[in-house]
Protein backbone atom coordinates (compact mmCIF):
# COMPACT_ATOMS: atom_id res chain seq x y z
CA UNK A 1 0.00 0.00 0.00
CA UNK A 2 1.24 3.43 -0.86
CA UNK A 3 1.56 5.60 2.21
CA UNK A 4 2.35 9.21 2.27
CA UNK A 5 3.34 11.06 5.40
CA UNK A 6 2.35 14.57 6.19
CA UNK A 7 5.00 15.84 8.54
CA UNK A 8 4.38 18.81 10.77
CA UNK A 9 7.21 20.39 12.67
CA UNK A 10 6.25 22.16 15.84
CA UNK A 11 9.05 23.83 17.77
CA UNK A 12 9.97 22.96 21.32
CA UNK A 13 8.44 26.31 22.26
CA UNK A 14 5.22 24.34 22.45
CA UNK A 15 6.59 22.59 25.48
CA UNK A 16 7.12 25.71 27.47
CA UNK A 17 4.20 27.83 26.41
CA UNK A 18 1.52 28.20 29.03
CA UNK A 19 -1.76 26.57 27.97
CA UNK A 20 -3.72 29.74 27.36
CA UNK A 21 -6.67 30.31 25.07
CA UNK A 22 -4.55 31.95 22.41
CA UNK A 23 -2.85 28.59 21.83
CA UNK A 24 -6.10 27.20 20.48
CA UNK A 25 -5.53 28.69 17.05
CA UNK A 26 -6.69 26.79 13.99
CA UNK A 27 -4.22 24.07 13.11
CA UNK A 28 -4.53 21.87 10.08
CA UNK A 29 -2.75 18.92 8.48
CA UNK A 30 -3.35 17.45 5.04
CA UNK A 31 -2.38 13.88 4.23
CA UNK A 32 -3.03 12.22 0.89
CA UNK A 33 -3.34 8.51 0.32
CA UNK A 34 -3.98 6.83 -3.01
CA UNK A 35 -7.75 6.63 -2.69
CA UNK A 36 -8.50 9.13 0.08
CA UNK A 37 -7.38 12.58 1.10
CA UNK A 38 -7.51 13.43 4.78
CA UNK A 39 -7.72 16.95 6.19
CA UNK A 40 -7.30 17.39 9.94
CA UNK A 41 -8.40 20.55 11.77
CA UNK A 42 -8.18 21.30 15.46
CA UNK A 43 -6.18 23.16 18.08
CA UNK A 44 -2.41 22.96 17.81
CA UNK A 45 -1.32 19.90 19.83
CA UNK A 46 -0.05 20.70 23.32
CA UNK A 47 1.50 18.05 25.50
CA UNK A 48 -0.95 16.38 27.92
CA UNK A 49 -4.06 18.15 26.63
CA UNK A 50 -6.90 16.01 25.26
CA UNK A 51 -8.16 17.47 21.99
CA UNK A 52 -10.95 16.97 19.50
CA UNK A 53 -10.11 17.03 15.80
CA UNK A 54 -12.42 17.42 12.83
CA UNK A 55 -11.48 15.06 10.02
CA UNK A 56 -12.55 15.79 6.46
CA UNK A 57 -12.32 12.91 4.04
CA UNK A 58 -12.43 13.35 0.28
CA UNK A 59 -11.50 11.37 -2.78
CA UNK A 60 -8.57 12.56 -4.97
CA UNK A 61 -11.03 14.70 -6.97
CA UNK A 62 -12.12 16.48 -3.81
CA UNK A 63 -15.58 14.93 -3.43
CA UNK A 64 -16.62 14.20 0.18
CA UNK A 65 -16.42 10.58 1.27
CA UNK A 66 -19.40 9.83 3.47
CA UNK A 67 -20.25 6.98 5.85
CA UNK A 68 -16.59 6.03 6.32
CA UNK A 69 -15.45 3.93 9.24
CA UNK A 70 -12.25 5.51 10.55
CA UNK A 71 -10.19 3.90 13.28
CA UNK A 72 -7.16 5.56 14.79
CA UNK A 73 -3.99 4.06 16.22
CA UNK A 74 -0.44 5.27 16.57
CA UNK A 75 2.42 5.93 18.93
CA UNK A 76 6.08 6.81 19.07
CA UNK A 77 7.99 4.36 16.84
CA UNK A 78 11.33 5.32 18.38
CA UNK A 79 10.09 4.39 21.85
CA UNK A 80 7.95 1.40 20.96
CA UNK A 81 4.87 2.69 22.77
CA UNK A 82 1.40 3.60 21.58
CA UNK A 83 -0.76 6.65 22.05
CA UNK A 84 -1.60 7.61 25.64
CA UNK A 85 -5.28 7.54 24.69
CA UNK A 86 -7.38 5.62 22.19
CA UNK A 87 -8.94 8.34 20.03
CA UNK A 88 -12.26 7.47 18.42
CA UNK A 89 -14.63 8.96 15.87
CA UNK A 90 -17.69 9.84 17.94
CA UNK A 91 -19.87 11.54 15.33
CA UNK A 92 -20.38 11.54 11.58
CA UNK A 93 -20.90 15.24 10.88
CA UNK A 94 -21.97 14.67 7.27
CA UNK A 95 -20.42 15.81 4.00
CA UNK A 96 -17.31 13.74 4.66
CA UNK A 97 -16.64 15.31 8.05
CA UNK A 98 -16.07 13.29 11.21
CA UNK A 99 -15.47 14.26 14.85
CA UNK A 100 -12.43 12.55 16.38
CA UNK A 101 -12.25 12.77 20.18
CA UNK A 102 -9.62 11.77 22.73
CA UNK A 103 -6.47 12.89 20.91
CA UNK A 104 -3.55 13.33 23.29
CA UNK A 105 0.24 13.37 23.18
CA UNK A 106 2.20 13.17 26.39
CA UNK A 107 5.83 13.71 25.46
CA UNK A 108 7.99 15.53 22.97
CA UNK A 109 9.40 13.75 19.96
CA UNK A 110 7.99 12.14 16.82
CA UNK A 111 4.52 10.68 16.92
CA UNK A 112 2.83 8.74 14.14
CA UNK A 113 -0.96 8.72 13.97
CA UNK A 114 -2.45 6.06 11.70
CA UNK A 115 -5.92 6.45 10.21
CA UNK A 116 -7.47 3.21 8.96
CA UNK A 117 -10.18 4.32 6.55
CA UNK A 118 -12.89 1.97 5.34
CA UNK A 119 -15.45 3.42 2.93
CA UNK A 120 -17.14 2.67 -0.37
CA UNK A 121 -13.97 3.29 -2.39
CA UNK A 122 -11.99 0.70 -0.40
CA UNK A 123 -9.73 0.46 2.60
CA UNK A 124 -6.60 2.52 3.08
CA UNK A 125 -4.29 3.48 5.92
CA UNK A 126 -3.00 7.03 5.97
CA UNK A 127 -0.21 7.93 8.39
CA UNK A 128 0.50 11.36 9.77
CA UNK A 129 3.78 12.11 11.51
CA UNK A 130 3.84 14.91 14.08
CA UNK A 131 6.90 16.35 15.77
CA UNK A 132 6.10 17.81 19.15
Give the residues lining the site for another protein (CB under 8 A).
Answer: 12-13, 15-16, 18-19, 47-48, 50, 73, 75, 78-88, 101-102, 104, 106-109
For another protein, which is the closer residue by CB, 67 or 81? Answer: 81
Q: In angstroms, what CA-CA distances link 69 with 10, 65, 110, 121, 125?
A: 29, 10, 26, 12, 12
For another protein, which is the closer residue by CB, 31 or 103? Answer: 103
Single out the residue of 109, 27, 42 nearest to residue 72, CA to CA. Answer: 42
C-alpha to C-alpha distance for 119 and 88, rounded to whole angstroms: 16
Cβ 63 to another protein shortest distance, Å: 30
Cβ 79 to another protein shortest distance, Å: 5
Single out the residue of 127, 108, 114 nearest to residue 7, CA to CA. Answer: 127
For another protein, which is the closer residue by CB, 39 or 110? Answer: 110
Amino acid sequence: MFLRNAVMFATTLLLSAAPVASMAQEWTVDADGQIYRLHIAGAEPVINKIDTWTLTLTDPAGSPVEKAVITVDGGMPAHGHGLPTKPAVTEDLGEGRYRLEGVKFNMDGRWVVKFEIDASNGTEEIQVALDL
